[in-house]
Amino acid sequence: MPPTRPGAYALSTRGLTKRFPGVLALDRVDFGVRPGEVHALIGENGAGKSTLIKVLTGVYAPDEGEVLRGGGPVSFGTPLAAQRAGISTIYQEVNLVPLMSVARNLFLGREPRGRLGLIDFGRMHRDGERLLSDYGVRADVRRRLGELGVGAQQMVALARAVSVDARVVVMDEPTSSLEPREVETLFGVIRRLRDRGVAVVYVSHRLDELYAVCDTVTVLRDGRTVHTGPLEGLERLRLVSLMLGREIGEVRAEGTTKFGGDHEAASAEPVLHAEGLSVPHQLHGVSFTVRPGEVVGLGGLLGSGRTETVKAVAGAVPRSAGRVTVAGAPVRTGSPGAAIRAGVSLLPEDRKSEGIVPGLSVRENIALAVLPRLSRAGLVSEARIDSLVRTFMERLRIKASSPHQKAGELSGGNQQKVLLARWLAAEPRVLLLDEPTRGIDVGAKAEVQKLVDELAAEGLGVLLISSDLEELIEGSDRVVVLRDGAVVDELTGDDVTEDRLMEAIAGAAEEEPHSEAPAETPAAVPMGDSAPGSAREGAPHG
Amino acid sequence: MAEAVAGRIAPDRAAVHSWLQAYGVYVGVGVLLLFNVAFTDHFLSAENFRTQAVQVAPILIVALGMALAIGSEGIDLSVGSVMALSTSLVALYLGYGPWVALLATVLGGIAIGLVNGSLVAFVGVQPIVATLALMVGGRGLALVLVPQLEDVRDPGMRALGSGDLLGVPYPVLIALALVLLVGFAVRRTTFGRQLLAIGDSRPAARLAGLPVRRVLLCVYVASGALAAVAGFLATARLQASDPTSLGSLMELSAITAVVVGGTPLSGGRVRVGGTVAGAVLIQLLTATLIKHDLPPSWTQIAQAAVIVLAVYAARERGKR
Amino acid sequence: MKPLARRLTAATALLTALALASGCAKSEDEAGKPTSGAGSEGGGQVAAEPTKGAKTCTVGRYGGEKLDLSKATVGFSQSEKEANPFRIAETASIRAEAEKRGVKLLTANAQSQFSKQISDVQDLISKGADLLVIAPLNSDGWEPVLKQAASKNVPIVTVDRQINATACKDYVSFIGSDFVQQGRRAADQMIKATGGKGKVAILLGTPGNNVTTERTKGFRDRIKKKAPELDVVFQQTGEFAREKGQQVTEQLIQSKPDIDGIYAENDEMGLGAVNALKSAGRKAGDVKIVTVDGTRNAVQGVVDKWIHGVIESNPRFGPLAFSTLDDFTSGKKVGQSIVIKDGAYTPANAERDLSKAF
């Protein structure tokens, strides 16, 4: 499907090809986005989305083919060159200076100058406030950016990007760390951009979002364009089947998530007891239990203390009070190693910085937590590692060119599978999963969900955190709901429904100080530090 | 237009840089060897190679420890002072025989390593600051123990410094044995694997239950012990205990050898072979400039140029 | 790895024990050794013949009062740690002479930090020093101290290094060696040893140091003038250290095996060169080595025929410094710049004068 009217595109590609050692990442890709259009770019991990974005924004140079901007071929040597050509990118991670004020960040490099060439702070703060309120964001622009929640930081990044006169905005999974209300605000901003004639490329794994905000969709699979067209009238199931390259019947038969029914665990003795877990400013006496063969969901808003809870259990965050026992034996605080030996494994939320060791091979990553067990007198047994790695790569269907490929080079889904393999190799009795399917493709997501089910069926106790309500509901036998670092509700049996969960969580929302936001459209994003742990949970880099 | 050209050649250049970072040091050694064979009088002689090998041995031994420290995303600036301390300890304990002296120096190195490692692993001081303290203090301590150069006259020491076994000088044999030992430790032991994981991603290693503190402690202990052995050998060769100048600026030579050898300063990787080649490169560079009687300042400039090149190659790689 | 932790603990304990024991080991060693380099043993300095018309200074011109040295307090500020034979001998000589004359001596050591030397000197003045002997670390930066000394009428004599100030106004006089002259005399020895023909190498001191520059200048100028057939074919720094001297000489004798002489700008580098020649299987006297300083080890090298000659740079400033102060305080004329007469050790006198070496 080559673009028929190249002149009409704000940004397009023709026959774009990009190779990496052993991989054809992009195979003659044609892609185009028009002014005033929100164009969804979707595909499984490894389909070539990230590579395409990186070529469009000047991070990579194409091996063949060309990028066209406003009808003429361009070649950006650097991301800065792309930015100068009016192409801005909003990444998952915010690329701003956390120690500077919001206003400084908004005007970084183009500060309004007063006499003597000094920065005119008064004007900068007024302009900054106006700019943000244009996008429905209320904030004190004098505060340091790092004090804001991740969602708010992202809004600032977006406001900055569009205010530098971007004609094309590329958003790579912008909602992955936003709360639902923040997502709404973001969509409002995107619609405004569209109305102003900005071309938006929108990458996301969340189908709901695509239908809510996008006009057009391009589906990539295995480095090729498999579909381009309007999103309206395109069935969800059809979209999924395009991405997966599978027939509709197959997809439907498997349902939206891979979770099976409830597990028969109600009668067993709990394997994990957490009593009165406290972490200063973050957790205030959280208690719960997990039985063998049971999947317990941990629900709550961003900043409610979900991540802190699992970290406190796994010894990654020292607790000031409370105790954790696994099968009756107490687990020492502050030592992940002790927790692992006691049978508690944590799949961390932040896969990139706390999970994967990017420079080491897939093999080393899988064996990492169990090296002492696979060694004799400090010497590593390569044979035992090989057999362990082979077993898990097969069982979890990890796609890598070889066990010796660097883990950092894998797609997100495969990295997650490598981490799961690492933790399963440790033979845990309790598995703590913090957002196990965030940022991974549909196929891998289904596989991970199915695996969790199987593991529970085999008798493992699972604690699941997910911002995806559907996943949480379908996956969990029981849901413990957290608010402001304390357990506020527990849903069991027939109460485990999206409605009940929303109610339980919403109970929390009513009590939040900033919820009485003025009825502007779009809704203002509260940018205060209402929940003490919010920035931390959302931004593990901070 | 310039941007367009730059854009198109970018991937090739990145590949070239990444290759250069890993193997450039061998090319450098090759080029220097060829140059010397062609233009340096009496270069191709067993005696000359022996001289270069003996001179490079202490640098190499220190660089091995430095490679471990850098691989763990740290650094050990105290190595030169550890050499000074060990030369003092030789003077103090040689009376009990060379083996006791060697034991004393290694224990001294381990003690310094324990202090460094504790500061880094348990107190959480940045390696560059923690080891800076002993870089300054270590030499001071050495001078307190032995305030001035003392001659070391011992047949055993002399044999270690300038004797040989089957034509290979003892310092070279010892250095090679330590290369194999460190290479083995990095590749085949849990310590080595854990060290690399910690250097690559400390938070991930911690969450994976690795004994981060213990591994870091061991890294600095190993670095201290290796520097102590280097100090012992240098003392044996000099036949004098000279805490004032022995090992001065050794930390810079060692860091250069490691970085030029392709071990990234960002940690997570230890290139033992590259470190050997890096040390040899520095030695050959110095030897070439001296043999051709170029002004001494040129040696420093040339070393600086090599470091800049190596870091440049590393930077290109890091961008990927 | 618990066992490892235990082993490490054991090692630490052992080390502590060894460290404690080292105190004893050290003192036993000391007891057995002859105390080297005491000033009284010989080799005290003598001023070179004053050249005609040399400037002099008197207490009247300087501004101050006569006093009786034997009842005065003298402050001595040393620049560097006593970690090399020169500094050790220098300080020992000052102490010995003070003791001999019954003068009360206050000492301080700047440990190679100029700021410390400034405060050292101020300290000495405030502690009641009537006269000062200073071995300066730097030539510049002395104004504040000199002013303070002048306001309290404390005469100053500087030794071994000159300061940038006016003699007989800011300070009384400077006593030291002429490093250019040392270079010339080393050249004379080298010419004699090689017959004025052949190839020689220079092991330079630390680059940028005035001692290095002057010893090099004297040597090269004299060779150029007196022995044009003697070629300086090699000139590399050994940084005044034995190890570097050894390493550079090793490279030298590989690439220029036919070298006839090596001029080392201090004894340590010369001894390093001897090490290198020995381990390369050369014979004593094969390569003529001339060094500067006059340490015991180097003079022993002359006795053993490995070193051809040693030009003395006498560190025993005690007698001359005190006699100068004595003359000055009793109202006699003293020279503003007193160049000391350095000796030399050659195969002819080395054995006899070995005891004079420091």
The predicted-structure confidence for A305-327, as pLDDT tens digits, reads as follows 888 899 999 999 889 999 999 98
Where is average pLDDT lowest: A147-161, B174-188, B291-305, C250-264?
A: A147-161
Tens of pLDDT, residues A504-541: 776 533 444 443 434 443 444 444 443 343 333 433 34
Domain match, C144 and C271 both: no
- On whether both C252 and C132 belong to a single domain, the answer is no
- What percentage of chain A reaches a pLDDT higher than 70? 83
Same domain, C198 and C224: yes
Given this model, what pLDDT does residue A164 score?
A: 74
pLDDT of residue A303: 65
Chain center to CA of B101? 22
Region B264-286 average pLDDT: 92
Contact B293 C268 (CB under 8 A): no
Interface contact B196-A353, CB threshold 8 A: no
C297, B151: Cβ pair inside 8 Å?
A: yes
Q: Identify which of C291, C358, C313 has the alpha carbon closest to the alpha carbon of residue C177.
A: C313
Q: Do A357 and B209 touch (CB under 8 A)?
A: no
Shared-domain flag, residues C113 and C187: no
Q: Could you give the C-alpha distances from B98 to B90, B158, B232, B233, B296, in angstroms and in order?
A: 8, 10, 10, 11, 35
Higher pLDDT: B107 or C32? It is B107
Please tell me the predicted confidence (pLDDT) of residue A506. Answer: 61
Binned at pLDDT 50, 70 and 90, residue C49 comes out as low
φ/ψ (deg, to 5) at A337: -60, -45
Residues C229 and C291 reside in one and the same domain: yes
d(CA A255, CA A234): 18
Q: Distance (Å) from the C-alpha of residue B140 to the closest C-alpha of chain A? A: 37
Q: Which fold has domain A6-86+166-253?
A: Rossmann fold (3.40.50)
Whether residue C262 is found in the same domain as residue C150: no
Whole-angstrom CA distances from A221 to A242, A441, B110 are: 8, 11, 56
Pairing of strands A329-330, A321-326: antiparallel
Least-confidence region, from A294-308, B59-73, C193-207: A294-308
Judge whether C307 and C272 are in contact, CB under 8 Å.
Answer: no
Give CA–CA dist C191/A86, Å, rounded.
Answer: 78
Averaged pLDDT, B98-110: 94
Given CB atoms, is A118 within the 8 Å cutoff of chain B? no
The answer on C213 and C158 residing in a single domain is no
Task: Give domain B32-37+46-319's CATH architecture.
Answer: Orthogonal Bundle (1.10)
- What pLDDT is attached to residue C236? 93
User: Please, what is the average pLDDT of chain A?
Assistant: 81
Expressed as residue numbers, the domain containing C143 is 39-176+315-342
Helices assigned H by DSSP within chain B: 2-39, 46-71, 79-93, 98-118, 127-145, 155-162, 170-188, 190-200, 202-207, 212-238, 250-260, 272-291, 296-319
If you average pLDDT over residues B177-186, what whole number do you get? 96
CATH code of C231's domain: 3.40.50.2300
Confidence band for C333, pLDDT divided at 50, 70 and 90: confident
Q: HSE of A480 in the Cβ direction (CA atoms, 13 Å)?
A: 23
Burial B153-167 (b: 16+ CB within 10 A, else e): ebeebbebbbeeeee
- Segment A245-262 mean pLDDT: 56
Between chain A and chain B, the number of residue pairs with CB atoms below 8 A apart is: 99
Q: Which of residues 99-118 of B touch C (CB under 8 A)?
A: 104, 107-108, 110-111, 114
Distance CA B243, CA C243 (A): 11
Residue C288 lies in a domain: yes
In a domain, C84, yes or no: yes
| Whole-Å CA distances, A449 to A300, A437, A477, A494, B227 | 20, 8, 14, 21, 52
Residue B44: other Cβ atoms inside 10 A: 11
- Are C306 and C205 in a shared domain? yes
**Of the candidates A176, A132, A181, A177, the residue with the CA atom closest to the CA atom of residue A150:** A177
C290 & C212 share domain: yes
Q: Would you call B209 and A337 a contact, using CB atoms and an 8 Å cutoff?
A: yes
Contacts of C173 (CB under 8 A, 6+ apart): C57, C157, C158, C167, C324, C328, C334, C335, C336, C337, C338
Subunit contact A371:B211, Cβ cutoff 8 A: no
Tell me what pLDDT residue C208 has.
78
* A350-379: pLDDT as tens digits: 888 889 999 899 999 999 999 988 888 889
Residue B64 C-alpha, separation from nearest chain C C-alpha, in angstroms:
21
* CA dist C251 → A37, B42, C204, C255, C300 (Å): 73, 11, 15, 6, 25
CB contact under 8 A, A375 and B190: yes
Nearest to A39 by CA among A170, A208, A153: A170
Task: Count CA atoms closer than 13 A to A484's CA, side-chain side.
Answer: 11
pLDDT tens-digit profile of C104-149?
999 999 888 888 999 999 999 999 899 999 999 888 888 888 888 8
With a cut of 50, say whether residue C154 has pLDDT above it.
Answer: yes
| Per-residue pLDDT reduced to its tens digit, A115-134 | 777 888 888 888 888 888 87
Sort A36 into a burial class: Cβ within 10 Å, 0-12 / 13-18 / 19+.
middle
Lookup: tokens for C176: 């030291």
Model confidence band, residue A262 (pLDDT cutoffs 50, 70, 90)? low
For domain A256-341+460-511, give the fold: Rossmann fold (3.40.50)
> Tell me, what's the pLDDT at C53?
57
Give the pLDDT of residue A6: 42
**Within a domain: residue C22?**
no
Percent of the residues in chain C that have a pLDDT greater than 90, as a whole number: 42
CATH 3.40.50.300 domain position(s) in chain A: 6-86+166-253, 256-341+460-511, 344-427
Q: Does B141 touch chain C (CB under 8 A)?
A: no
Statement: the pTM of the whole predicted model exceeds 0.90: no
Average of pLDDT values for B259-266? 89
What does the pLDDT average to over C169-188?
91
Residue B41 contacts C, CB cutoff 8 Å? yes
What is the mean predicted confidence (pLDDT) over B46-65?
A: 94
Q: Give the residue extent of every domain in chain B.
A: 32-37+46-319
Q: Looking at residue A265, what DSSP letter applies?
A: -
For C114: left if phi > 0, alpha if psi spans -120 to 50, otherwise beta; the answer is alpha
Asked whether the beta carbons of residue A336 and residue B3 sit closer than 8 angstroms, the reply is: no
Q: Which residue in chain A is spatially nearest to B191 when comparing CA positions?
A: A378
| Beta carbons within 8 Å of A348's beta carbon, 6+ residues apart | A311, A316, A354, A355, A434, A540, B207
- Say how far apart CA C195 and CA B160 lie, in whole Å: 38
Residue A532 confidence (pLDDT): 40
Backbone angles phi, psi at A59, to 5 degrees: -75, -45
ipTM for the whole complex: 0.84
Question: Domain check: are C98 and C146 in the same one?
Answer: yes
Give which of A55, A63, A346, A354 to mutate to test B binding, by max B Cβ within 10 Å. Answer: A354
Residue pair B82/B67 in contact by the 8 Å Cβ criterion: no
What phi and psi, each to the nearest 5 degrees, are found at residue A500? -60, -40
Q: How many domains does chain C have?
A: 2
Judgement on whether residues C116 and C103 belong to the same structural domain of the protein: yes
Shared domain check, C245 and C193: yes
How long is chain A?
A: 542
With CA atoms as reference, report the closest residue to C227 among C199, C197, C185, C189.
C197
User: How many of the other CB atoms lie within 10 Å of CB of C80?
Assistant: 18
B189 secondary structure, DSSP code: B
Fold of A344-427: Rossmann fold (3.40.50)
